[in-house]
Amino acid sequence: MLEFMDYIQHAFYSASHWNYENSYSQLTSTARALLDFETPRGLRLNVSSLSSPNFATSYALGSVGLVDGSLSYLYTSLPLHATSQSGKLNLHDVIRGYRQIQELRKPEESWMWEQWLGGKRVDQRDTLLYGRLYLPQSTLEALYLCRISPTQQVKLSAVSDSRLKNGGTILALHQYDVGKYSAETLYSTDGGLIGLRGLYNFGPDPRKEVPEPPRADDRPYGRFSAGAELYYGSLNKSGGVSFGGRYATLPAHKGIPLTATLTVNPLMGNLSTSYAVKAGKNLALCSKFDFNVYSYESDLMLGCELWRMKKRVEKKMERSMAAKLAWTVDEVKEPTTPEPEEVAGVLKARVDENWKIGILWEGRIKEMLFTLGSSIDMKRKDQPFRALGLELQYSS
């Protein structure tokens, strides 16, 4: 489940029309959400609030043997009108599951952002500032996010911690996204790491032509994307490179939605394939296979996600005053559209070839969101439960 501050950050992306998914680092987000989810450890409590459209606070208290916690504050210059009450949140927004990629949007022109007042430009760049202090470790996280133009974004994140080398690190990330392709440049002060990432989407260019309407036939309708990344640590003279490709169906696809990815690390000889399908309305399945051509090591992982829905509780219809006055009963109105069902909970499970099992149950009780999870190691018969955790979130 997304933390509240991450949820607000995503709300900022959508409010400023930034396509978060159109990046090489998000190429395997479906497989990550279904297979690499984190199981909580110990008890954790989050209390958060979007007190004004521009300001959010969050406090966390955790207990894994020791009691620790964090305070975080967020400011954004762009007013956010996202639902923040945990009782009313759409769980699809905070629980990462099968990621259905969307049709590419045409990026906004830069003149659309201009605001003029009395012959002067008065518009400002949308920014987001975020800080988080962990106690008692005294670790400070800071984030600065700025939309410098409709197609560009700059993200600066920093961590200050006395235990780190040089007292902390800063990561600068510049993102450029025109829909058809996106490119990212990053620099980390830790080891002087320089990185380049790029993603290219095959198919129609959203800037030139209107996306054709979805066809009615059964042919698969999807999009193929390919990308690469390159890193070089200028201080420790090390590097890394990888290529990747993804085929995913678009929402207009008539058949079963599917996502298939392949990533290759040519330096280390690592091949990783993943395949995910949304087998039903509430069920998604995923498998991942890793193979190393140099060491012949392989790994297989299977995972699934099951959404449990429940009928929305109908409001009790009181006899209206007009009906009482008329000495009649109210006319029974036939619901024209079926009420959308409410999410009762999500069950996620994964298993790998070493019989390590991770189970997560996420849902809502009353006004609280909860995450209950455990990781189990079946190889260790004496102590199969490696970790057990419960996370509670309340926000207003």
Partner 1 sequence: MAFNFNWSPLAADADFYSRAREMLTAALNKSPKPPIIVDDILVNELNLGSVPPDLEILEIGDLAEDRFRGIFKMCYAGDAFLTLKTRVQANPLNTYLFSKPSFTSPQPLAASSGLTIPLQITLSEIKLSAFIILVFSRQKGLTLVFRNDPLESLKVSSTFDSIPFVRDYLQKEIEAQLRTLMMDELPAIIHRLSLRLWCPEHKARVAEEKAHAAKLDEEVPVDPFASPPQDAVDARGNVLDASEISSLSLDRGSEIHSLFSQKNLLRLAALTDSHRTLSLFTPSIRDAVFRAWAGPSERSDTMGSSGPATPTLMRSHSSLGSTSTTYTFGKGSDDGHGQLTSRPSLVSLNSSTTGLSLGAGRHSRSHANRKKKTRVVNLRKKKTTDDMVSESADSETSSVMPASEPLYATSISEEPGDSIITPPRSPSGRVRFRTSSIDLGDSPRKLRLSNPGRPGMTSLTVPEQAILDPVPPIEQLDSRATAPISTNPHRSSHAPSQYAAEKSKSDIPHLEPAPMLSDPSVPGILEQAWVLKMAGEIARRAHDEKAVAEGFWQRDDRDDTPPPAYQQKA
- Residue span 340-369 as binding mask against partner 1, x where in contact by CB under 8 A, dash where not: ------------------------------
Q: Euclidean distance between the first and final Cα of the chain, in Å?
A: 17
Report the residue number, 184 or 362, with the smaller CB distance to partner 1: 184
Token pair 């800071």 is at which residue? 142
239 touches partner 1 (CB under 8 A): yes
93 touches partner 1 (CB under 8 A): no
- Please, what is the minimum distance in Å from the beta carbon of residue 147 to partner 1? 20
89 touches partner 1 (CB under 8 A): no
H-run or E-run covering 299: strand 298-310
Short-list 173, 139, 167, CA closest to 153: 173
Choices 82-90, 239-247, 350-358, 368-376 (CB under 8 A): range interacting with partner 1: 239-247
Pick from 1, 5, 8, 27: which binds partner 1 (CB under 8 A)? Answer: 27
233 touches partner 1 (CB under 8 A): yes
90 touches partner 1 (CB under 8 A): no
- Please, what is the minimum distance in Å from the beta carbon of residue 138 to partner 1? 12
Choices 47-55, 238-246, 309-317, 375-383 (CB under 8 A): range interacting with partner 1: 238-246
| CB atoms near residue 246 (< 10 Å) | 26
CA distance 96 to 284: 12
Q: Which of residues 160-199 bind partner 1 (CB under 8 A)?
A: 161, 164, 169-171, 173, 186, 188, 190-191, 193, 195, 197
Pick from 40, 62, 150, 244: which binds partner 1 (CB under 8 A)? Answer: 244
Note if the bond before 136 is cis, omega within 30 degrees. Answer: yes
Report the residue number, 156 or 357, with the smaller CB distance to partner 1: 156
Token pair 């009181």 is at which residue? 318
296 touches partner 1 (CB under 8 A): no
| CB atoms near residue 344 (< 10 Å) | 13
CA distance 332 to 133: 56
- Please, what is the minimum distance in Å from the beta carbon of residue 275 to partner 1? 16
135 touches partner 1 (CB under 8 A): no
CA distances from 149 to 152, 179, 278, 313 (A): 5, 14, 36, 45
- Please, what is the minimum distance in Å from the beta carbon of residue 25 to partner 1? 6
Instruction: Return the half-sphere exposure (C-beta side, CA atoms, 13 A cut-off) of residue 67.
Output: 2
Token pair 């051509």 is at which residue? 293
301 touches partner 1 (CB under 8 A): no
Q: Which two tokens stand for residue 136?
A: 């008692």
CA distance 100 to 95: 13
290 touches partner 1 (CB under 8 A): yes
The answer to whether the beta carbons of residues 241 and 230 sit under 8 Å apart is yes
Report the residue number, 205 or 290, with the smaller CB distance to partner 1: 290
Q: Which of residues 52-81 bind partner 1 (CB under 8 A)?
A: 66
Token pair 């209950």 is at which residue? 372
CA distances from 39 to 34, 63, 64, 129, 351 (A): 12, 15, 13, 28, 13
Report the residue number, 5 or 91, with the smaller CB distance to partner 1: 5
Give the CA diameter of the chain: 87
- Please, what is the minimum distance in Å from the beta carbon of residue 50 to partner 1? 21
Q: Which residues bind partner 1 (CB under 8 A)?
A: 24-25, 27-28, 66, 139, 141, 143, 157-159, 161, 164, 169-171, 173, 186, 188, 190-191, 193, 195, 197, 229-231, 233, 236, 238-242, 244, 263-265, 267-270, 272, 290, 292, 294-295, 297
